Structure 1
Amino acid sequence: MLKYFCCYLAIFVVSKPCLVDGQGVEKKNSLVFVIDDTGSMADDIDEAKKQVDSIFDAALKENDSTIKDFVIVTFNDPDVAHRTTTENRTVFKKALEDITVNGGGDCEEMALTGLKLALENSRDGSIVYLFTDADAKDLDKAETVKKLAKEKQCRLFFMMTGNCNYGVNAPGHRVFFDLAEATQGQVFTLTKKEVGQALHHAVESVRPSDIIASSAFGAAGVVSDIVPASNTINFNVAENVKEVLISVSGVGISVDVTDSAGGKPKTEETAKTSGSTIVKVLDVKPGKYTATVFSAGETSVVITGITKGGESSKIV
């Protein structure tokens, strides 16, 4: 059972209208991919390539999409490279195709240096996905990355298909969880064949209009890796919210949603891997809701509300 489950409810607006030359326009951000390009990552990169069209379609088909451009940065040890910043699907695909995996050596990689470079080449409010199967070597960059991500209001998500087997509390492994928590992102633990399915999270994350979110995190080393535990998260839905996404990382996940009257709103599971689940709550009405999450291992929950458009709202 969970010995404790550190929970905070922070419901906020990620993107707000801003003024450009005195006129109101929607602020645009970047969708960012930070990719470990060592030899063992070939399968992960192949899975990412398969999802390019669906990600571009989701990001660009809506007139009010928050995504302006796409960024790719690669890293290994000791090299990092800014591969592209582009709005063009063909250019993005070519940048992915041009990634040549090689090396690996001592396992730990310059993940945080790559992440720093990506943040420096991204717009404020960007959504960042880092793909790796290793721990971070460059821990001296951790505070710089955290500060930069928070200043730019970027959310950091980590797609982990392995580690260096130094234990769950190894500093090079823990840093990913710390950065995710600090930026209201998540760490997804996956098999290499599940990367494509996990990227449905990216497809959902680029949906247009304002986003509200709440997050809850368990603590490593004090949770059961075998026995699922129940954790309850209460959240409010404003009048301008049309759908709610509940993204959970953990093991053996199930999610149950109820409204204030005890009713069960319609839900659908839009993505599921061995270490993550995304549940969409459809046709929500304003009011109070409860999400009961069952999971084992270290668990994080991010609840995101997709608005109907119009003026931004903020709920506390």
Structure 2
Amino acid sequence: MSDDDIDAVLAITSSIIDSKVGTEDEPSLYILVPFNDPDFGPLLKTTDPNVFKNAIDSLRAEGGGDSPEMSLSGLQLALTGAPPESEIFLFTDAPAKDTHLKSTVITLIERTKSVVNFMITAALRSRRRKRAAAEDLAQVSGGLAIEVTMAELPAATSIITQSSTSSLVSLLQANRNPGKADNFTFSVDESVRKITVYIAGTSTTFSLTNPSGVSQESRNNRGPLITASQSVGNFKTLQLKAETGL
């Protein structure tokens, strides 16, 4: 990443941290693991969010470009050093050079029950095969793989903040190949207070049907089921009117 990209990451992480201060989601520990090629680390641990922010601010790009980087090595180090059930954000604009670590990282994710969110920026967006590892790891962990340009990265902050809360419960998660239509169902009970749907993909069309049989098409941004929507990069978020049932 360039120095400008690092500044954008600092702005986003600062926004996420500030949104959680004083809430039940405020972390007890902050961990930073930088990576590039051929290096990764060292791992920084601190209980002070300002120390964490300053550490990000002190990072400087070396070389630039979009050559493969040691992102999975950095992720592996973060997973081994973080407490169980941590939430990890990985920012990258380059494919992983160390994809041979994918199965090891999956094992660590499952063992620690950690969530990994990938923020994939411009240079990697057009490389479907190269970013597949990120999408697979995000899905295994219950996290998101958001593809945006650097200009769109600030707009993605609200998506990240919404998805990184202790009260979040996944009712359904599914992954399908492009171009294949399918039907998905999920149950909503009385304990659900806010229903958010995350849809990743380009040129995605869909139809929603609530338990009463009322439907709404994706081309209709205003209707009986969707109360609010937001699109950024490859991601669309929908707020739905809560109704118990299938």
Per the TM superposition, whether the score is higher than 0.5 is: yes
- Matching residue within 25, 45, 58 for 2:6: 45
CA distance in 2 between partners of 1:50 and 1:259 (Å): 38
Pick the aligned partner of 1:273 from 221, 225, 232.
Answer: 232
Does residue 233 (structure 1) correspond to residue 184 (structure 2)? The answer is yes
Distance 2:226 2:136 in 1: 33
**Residue pair 1:133, 1:162 contacting (<8 A) in 2 also:** yes
Cα–Cα, structure 1 residues 164 and 206, in superposed 2: closer, same or farther, change >3 Å?
closer
Preserved CA contact (<8 Å) 2:114 2:141: yes
Letter in 2 for 1:244: I
The corresponding residue for 1:192 is: 150
Aligned equivalents of 1:135 and 1:115: distance in 2? 13
TM-score, structure 1 as length reference:
0.66
Aligned to 1:93, what secondary structure does the other structure show? helix
Matched, 1:60 2:11: no
1:66–1:208: 8 Å Cα contact kept in structure 2?
no
Measure, in 2, the Cα distance between the counterparts of 1:155 and 1:139.
19
Match of 1:248 among 190, 199, 211: 199
Post-superposition shift, 1:44? 2.9
Residue identity opposite 1:43 in structure 2: D
Give a deviation string over 1:90-123, Cα, whole Å, max 9, x none. Answer: 2122111111111246701111101101111212
How many angstroms apart in 2 are the aligned matches of 1:109 and 1:253?
30
Q: 1:52 to 1:109 in 2, by over 3 A?
A: closer
Question: Which secondary structure state, in structure 2, belongs to the residue aligned with residue 287 of structure 1?
Answer: coil
Note if 1:100 corresponds to 2:60: yes
Using the alignment, how far apart are the partners of 1:182 and 1:203 within structure 2?
20
User: What is the CA deviation profile of residues 182-214 of structure 1, one whole-angstrom value per residue up to 9, with x for unaligned ones?
Assistant: 223332221111111122222112323352342
Structure 1, 273-282 or 192-201: larger mean CA deviation? 273-282
Q: Is the 8 A contact 1:132 1:162 kept in 2?
A: no
Among candidates 202, 209, 212, match of residue 258 of structure 1:
209
Instruction: State the Cα distance separating 1:67 from its structure 2 match.
Output: 3.6
The structure where helix makes up a greater share of residues is 2
- Asked if 1:120 corresponds to 2:80, the answer is yes
Aligned-pair RMSD on alpha carbons? Answer: 2.7
Cα contact 2:68–2:96 (8 A) shared by 1: yes
- TM-score by structure 2 length? 0.83
**Unpaired runs of 5+ in structure 2?**
215-223
Identity of aligned residues (%): 27
Q: Partner residue of 1:149?
A: 109
Secondary structure of the residue that 2:186 maps to in structure 1? strand
Structure with greater strand percent: 1
Aligned to 2:51: 91
CA positional deviation for 1:163: 4.4
What is the rounded CA distance, in whole Å, between the counterparts of 1:88 and 1:202 in structure 2? 21
Q: Give the secondary structure class of the aligned counterpart of 2:170.
A: strand
CA 1:105 to 1:256, structure 2 compared with 1: closer, same or farther past 3 Å?
closer
Q: Distance in 1 between matches of 2:48 and 2:205?
A: 38
Query: What residue ranges of structure 1 are gaps of 5+ in the alignment?
Result: 1-39, 289-316
Q: Which has the higher contact order (CA 8 A, sep 6+)?
A: 1
Q: What does residue 72 of structure 1 align with? A: 32
Aligned residue pairs, count: 237
Looking at structure 2, the residues matched to 122 and 254 of structure 1 have their Cα atoms a distance apart, in angstroms, of: 38
Letter in 2 for 1:273: V
Distance verdict in 2 for CA 1:142–1:189, change over 3 Å: same
Structure 1 residues 242 and 92: alpha-carbon distance in aligned structure 2, compared to 1, 3 A threshold: same
Residues 204-260 of structure 1 deviation map (CA, whole Å, 9 limit, x = unaligned)? 1232335234211123xxx35xxxx76542111122111122112111346654321
